[in-house]
């Protein structure tokens, strides 16, 4: 009797094992993310620096992930239109936004945003960091940043600096300079870098804190004079050009950045996969040309690293925006 019961138990185990095997075979394996195309929303018009970085990255990620990665431009309201569209997308990893400096500053200069900057998004990866360059019209007598500072202190309010809009990296780099150098400069905002540079070349304004890409050819051609870079360290693209900190404003540093966010609630698995793809793009030297031509630096990091960096930038610029009473118009 005991032997019979043992055989029955053995038979039951065998039947259960067979049933599990059949069930496993009939249940399709869950596909690895991504199963379809991924979209990167760029909250700027086509052709700018953010668009260029996104398209270079998308080309690499398409091959790396085995699915199309497309770029969709949604400009408007100082990046708010495109960012809001990404925030309201399904949290499945298939819609991302290429955020920039504006992402960290917008909460400080806009009383109401259609999303919560730090609750509506899941950080994916910091892609690049960049600096601005201080340029002046060469007809002016300034041969160094020290010359400019000396003149500004002797002639408060007489130097105008242009920017490509209120709250942009060019604007806030100038405001930080005013505060730390203890000088009085007049800010002249433009709708984009092109009209500002046109007026700088024509002498209507005297200086700008602007991107390398926007003025590199003018510096090379002698139409503009570069005095310093806004980064904490010298740039490989301009090794002989001092930082603002070295040139007379100790501790000064201002940079912009580019990074990917997904909507909040996106799975850790999807975020990890996307982050790893960005890291591989950087390691593969995908952005080598942009490092020199655009004055960018690339270094892979974790989503947590990216989150800490942007939160730190937001807090830092909030203090300046509040002190200078800067508001979006």
Any idea where the domains of the chain sit in the sequence?
38-129+255-324, 131-229
Q: Cα–Cα distance between 232 and 189 in angstroms, integer?
A: 25
Look up the CATH superfamily of 38-129+255-324: Bordetella uptake gene, domain 1 (3.40.190.150)
Write the Ramachandran bin of 163: left for phi over 0, alpha for psi from -120 to 50, otherwise beta: beta
In the predicted model, residues of the chain with pLDDT beneath 70 are 1-30, 329
Please check whether the two domains, 38-129+255-324 and 131-229, share a CATH topology: yes
The pLDDT of residue 30 is 56
The pLDDT of residue 17 is 53
306: tokens are 């990216």
What one-character-per-residue DSSP string does 173-207 give?
A: HHHHHHHHHT---EEEE-SSHHHHHHHHHHTSS-E
CATH (residue range 131-229): 3.40.190.10
Q: Cα–Cα distance between 227 and 242 in angstroms, integer?
A: 8
Write the Ramachandran bin of 59: left for phi over 0, alpha for psi from -120 to 50, otherwise beta: alpha
Helix (H) or strand (E) holding 121: strand 121-136
The pLDDT of residue 11 is 44
pLDDT in tens, 231-283: 999 988 888 999 999 999 999 999 999 999 999 999 999 999 999 999 999 99
pTM: 0.84
Q: Cα–Cα distance between 222 and 232 in angstroms, integer?
A: 25
């Amino acid at each position: 009797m005991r032997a019979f019961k043992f055989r029955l138990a053995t038979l039951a185990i065998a039947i259960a094992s067979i049933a599990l095997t059949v069930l496993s075979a009939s249940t399709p394996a869950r596909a690895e993310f991504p199963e379809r195309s991924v979209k990167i929303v760029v909250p700027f018009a086509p052709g700018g620096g953010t668009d260029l970085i996104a398209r270079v990255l998308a080309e690499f990620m398409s091959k790396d992930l085995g699915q199309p990665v497309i770029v969709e431009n949604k400009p408007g309201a100082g990046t708010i239109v495109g960012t809001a569209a990404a925030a309201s997308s399904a949290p499945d990893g298939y819609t991302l936004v290429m955020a920039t400096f504006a992402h960290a500053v917008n909460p400080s200069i806009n009383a109401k945003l259609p999303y919560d900057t730090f609750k509506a998004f899941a950080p994916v990866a910091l892609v690049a960091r960049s600096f601005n360059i201080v340029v002046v019209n060469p007809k002016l007598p300034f041969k160094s940043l020290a010359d400019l500072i000396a003149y500004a202190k002797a002639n408060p309010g007489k130097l105008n600096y242009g920017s490509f809009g209120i709250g942009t990296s060019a604007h806030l780099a100038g405001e930080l300079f005013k505060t730390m150098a203890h000088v009085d400069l007049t800010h002249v905002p433009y709708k984009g870098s092109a009209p500002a540079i046109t007026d700088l070349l024509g002498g209507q304004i005297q200086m700008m804190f602007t991107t390398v890409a926007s003025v590199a050819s003018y510096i090379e051609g002698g139409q503009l004079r570069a005095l310093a870079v806004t980064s904490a360290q010298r740039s490989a693209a301009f090794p002989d050009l001092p930082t603002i900190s070295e040139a007379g404003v100790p501790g000064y540093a201002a940079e912009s950045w580019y990074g990917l966010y997904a909507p909040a609630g996106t799975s850790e698995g999807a975020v990890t996969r996307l982050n790893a793809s960005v890291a591989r793009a950087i390691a593969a030297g995908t952005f080598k040309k942009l490092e020199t031509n655009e004055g960018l630096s690339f270094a892979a990091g974790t989503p947590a690293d990216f989150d800490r960096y942007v939160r730190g930038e937001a807090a830092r610029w909030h203090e300046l925006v509040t002190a200078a009473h800067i508001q979006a118009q």
